[in-house]
Chain A
Amino acid sequence: MRLLRLWQNIVSFRWGGNSLAALYVSVLSGVVLSWQFDASEPYYSSGSLELVVPCGSFWRASHFYSSQLFFLFLVGHYLVVLFNRRREALAKGVRSASEVRSGGKENWGRLYLTLPVSLLLLFTGYVLRGDATGYSAGMIGENITLAFPLAGNFLNPLLFNVSQAGMRVVYANHLIGLGVVAGALAWPHLRRYRIRVIEHGWLVVALLGFSLLVPAPFDPFRVGDVHISGPWFFVGVQELLRYLQPFWGGIVFPFIAVWLGYLALIYPTDRRPLLGLMFWGTVYLVFTLAGSL
Chain B
Amino acid sequence: MTEPPREIDPIANPDRRRWLGGVGQLLAVVGGSLLFLPVLKFIDFRLNPRPRLIKVSRLLRPGGFIIEAEFVIFDVPGAPVAVSRKCTHLGCRLNFNEQENLLICPCHQSRFTRQGKRVSGPARRDLPLYQVAVASGSERNSFVVTVS
Whether a CB of chain A sits under 8 angstroms from the CB of B78 is no
Q: Is the CB of B46 within 8 A of A223?
A: no
Q: Is the CB of B97 within 8 A of A242?
A: no
Of B11-19, B52-60, B100-108, B137-145, the segment with at least 4 beta carbons within 8 Å of chain A is: B100-108
The proximity string for A residues 220-246 relative to B, scoring 1 for CB distances below 8 Å and 0 otherwise, is: 011111111010000000100111001
* Across-interface contacts of B122 in A (CB, < 8 A): 241-243
Contacts between chains A and B (CB distance < 8 A), count:
66
* Across-interface contacts of A19 in B (CB, < 8 A): none
Whether a CB of chain B sits under 8 angstroms from the CB of A98 is no
Whether a CB of chain B sits under 8 angstroms from the CB of A154 is yes
Bound CA–CA A227/B92 (angstroms):
11
Shortest distance from the beta carbon of A203 to any chain B beta carbon, whole Å: 35
Q: Is the CB of B91 within 8 A of A142?
A: yes
What residue in chain A is nearest B111 (Cβ atoms)?
A226
Number of interface residues of B (CB under 8 A): 23
| With contact pairs A153-B44, A223-B67, A242-B122 given, residues A140 and B96 touching in the complex (Cβ less than 8 Å) | no
What residue in chain A is nearest B104 (Cβ atoms)?
A226
Whether a CB of chain A sits under 8 angstroms from the CB of B49 is yes
Cβ 8 A contact of B97, one of A132, A140, A224 = A224
Q: Is the CB of B90 within 8 A of A227?
A: no
Q: Is the CB of B90 within 8 A of A226?
A: no
Cβ 8 A contact of A238, one of B93, B98, B107 = B107
Q: Is the CB of B95 within 8 A of A143?
A: no
Q: Is the CB of B49 within 8 A of A136?
A: no
Bound CA–CA A154/B44 (angstroms):
6
Q: Is the CB of B91 within 8 A of A163?
A: yes
The proximity string for B residues 82-125 relative to A, scoring 1 for CB distances below 8 Å and 0 otherwise, is: 00001001111101111000001011110000000000011000
Q: Is the CB of B49 within 8 A of A226?
A: no
Whether a CB of chain A sits under 8 angstroms from the CB of B8 is no
Shortest distance from the beta carbon of B124 to any chain A beta carbon, whole Å: 10
* Across-interface contacts of B109 in A (CB, < 8 A): 226-227, 242
Bound CA–CA A142/B104 (angstroms):
20
Whether a CB of chain A sits under 8 angstroms from the CB of B43 is yes
What residue in chain B is nearest A147 (Cβ atoms)?
B90
* Across-interface contacts of B43 in A (CB, < 8 A): 154, 157
Q: Is the CB of A241 within 8 A of B44?
A: no
Shortest distance from the beta carbon of A158 to any chain B beta carbon, whole Å: 10
Q: Is the CB of B90 within 8 A of A164?
A: no
Q: Is the CB of A164 within 8 A of B93?
A: no
Q: Which residues in chain B, 27-74, are within 8 Å of chain A measured between CB atoms?
A: 40, 43-44, 46, 49, 67
| With contact pairs A153-B44, A226-B109, A238-B107 given, residues A143 and B96 touching in the complex (Cβ less than 8 Å) | no
Q: Is the CB of A224 within 8 A of B95?
A: yes
Q: Which residues in chain A, 122-166, are within 8 Å of chain B measured between CB atoms?
A: 132, 135-136, 139-140, 142-144, 153-154, 157, 163-164
* Across-interface contacts of B49 in A (CB, < 8 A): 164
Q: Is the CB of A139 within 8 A of B90?
A: yes
For this complex, 11 residue pairs linking A to B, each with C-beta atoms less than 8 Å apart, are A136-B106, A139-B90, A139-B93, A143-B89, A153-B44, A154-B43, A163-B86, A225-B95, A227-B106, A241-B122, A242-B121
16 other A-B residue contacts (CB within 8 Å) besides A143-B90, A224-B95, A224-B96 = A132-B106, A136-B92, A139-B91, A140-B91, A140-B92, A140-B107, A143-B91, A153-B46, A154-B44, A226-B104, A228-B92, A228-B107, A241-B108, A242-B109, A242-B122, A246-B90
